[in-house]
């Protein structure tokens, strides 16, 4: 049974039995299923530009990239304020919830140099990242342009994508500096991205691991795919990882390479 087969009353009853009674709803993938498609979603045949977030989207959370970046940011906050680790951690979480990113908070409150911050935060060990030939093959076979849209730095995106073995498939990276240090989900960042790369949002789709970062893209006509972890990642906020079906999410998957080859590529022939 697939979620897309759940039309009509019988289907709705089956769906209700698989959805937790809470708001927002959490989709429980059925055994053997990795993908969910909303009934009203458009397919992919019209798409000519494929846009991917980087962190926790193009690599799985067990690649241990984000925990390292997160720890470097804590270290930066410790040094800047002369705090112990626990206090810095608390402050960092406060910044994240209040400003969206610690970088934005520190630029506004402490006037730090964003380039210094990004170099420091992304100075990580890349040996934990594995080649992903299945993902590389699927991305290569997507017809059209492929771009990375990240709240991190270009150098970080290039280093990570190179290790996954997918960098050469991308035309360019639009990073947080290109966004004038205004992170997703701010509307101006998506608009700047579309303008810079001459992308028609109605012919583009965005793959992203944070649900709220898909709201503006959906509003401006992009297709939206939420990429969730297969198991809950203890290093990240729970709200970032829920397989939440909201109106602005067209598809949900916990297996990006599988989604591209099983759901997207068959439509492109």
Where on the chain is the footprint of Mg ion (CB under 5 A)? 53, 55-57, 209
For Mg ion, the closer of residues 49 and 101 by Cβ is: 101
For Mg ion, the closer of residues 114 and 229 by Cβ is: 229
For Mg ion, the closer of residues 3 and 117 by Cβ is: 117
For Mg ion, the closer of residues 78 and 243 by Cβ is: 243
Number of C-beta neighbours around residue 52 at 10 A:
25
CA distances from 250 to 20, 79, 120, 190 (A): 19, 42, 36, 18
Residue 152 beta carbon to Mg ion: minimum distance, rounded to whole angstroms: 9
For Mg ion, the closer of residues 105 and 214 by Cβ is: 214
- Residue pointed to by tokens 């009353």: 9
- By beta carbon distance, the residue nearest Mg ion is 55
Residue 235 beta carbon to Mg ion: minimum distance, rounded to whole angstroms: 13
Rounded to whole angstroms, how far apart are CA atoms 162 and 159?
A: 5
Residue 10 beta carbon to Mg ion: minimum distance, rounded to whole angstroms: 37
Residue 9 beta carbon to Mg ion: minimum distance, rounded to whole angstroms: 38
- Could you give the strand order of the β-sheet that contains 35-37, starting from the edge strand earlier in sequence? 35-37, 251-253, 223-227, 204-208, 49-52, 145-149, 172-174
CA distances from 248 to 59, 141, 186 (A): 23, 26, 15
Residue 151 beta carbon to Mg ion: minimum distance, rounded to whole angstroms: 7
Residue 4 beta carbon to Mg ion: minimum distance, rounded to whole angstroms: 26
For Mg ion, the closer of residues 16 and 177 by Cβ is: 177
């Amino acid at each position: 049974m697939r979620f897309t087969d759940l039309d009509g009353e019988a289907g709705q009853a089956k769906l209700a039995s698989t959805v937790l009674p809470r708001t927002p709803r959490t989709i429980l993938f059925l055994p053997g299923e990795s993908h969910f498609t909303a009934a009203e979603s458009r397919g992919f045949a019209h798409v000519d530009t494929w846009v991917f977030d980087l962190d926790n989207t193009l690599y799985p959370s067990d690649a241990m990239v984000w925990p390292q970046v997160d720890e470097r940011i804590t270290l930066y906050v410790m040094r800047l304020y002369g705090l112990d680790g626990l206090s810095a951690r608390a402050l960092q979480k406060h910044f994240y919830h209040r400003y969206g990113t610690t970088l934005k908070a520190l630029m506004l409150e402490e006037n730090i140099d964003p380039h210094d911050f990004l170099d420091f935060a992304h100075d990580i060990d890349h040996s934990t990242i594995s080649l992903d030939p299945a993902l590389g093959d699927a991305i290569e076979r997507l017809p059209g342009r492929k771009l990375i849209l990240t709240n991190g730095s270009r150098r970080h995106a290039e280093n990570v994508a190179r290790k996954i073995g997918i960098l050469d498939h991308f035309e360019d990276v639009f990073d947080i500096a290109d966004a004038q240090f205004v992170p997703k989900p701010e509307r101006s960042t998506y608009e700047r991205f579309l303008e810079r790369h001459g992308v028609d949002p109605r012919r583009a789709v965005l793959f992203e691991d944070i649900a709220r970062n898909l709201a503006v893209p959906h509003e401006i006509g992009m297709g939206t795919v939420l990429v969730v972890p297969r198991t809950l990642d203890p290093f990240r906020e729970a709200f970032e990882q829920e397989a939440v079906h909201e109106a602005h999410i067209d598809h949900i998957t916990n297996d990006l390479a599988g989604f591209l080859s099983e759901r997207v590529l068959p439509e492109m022939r």
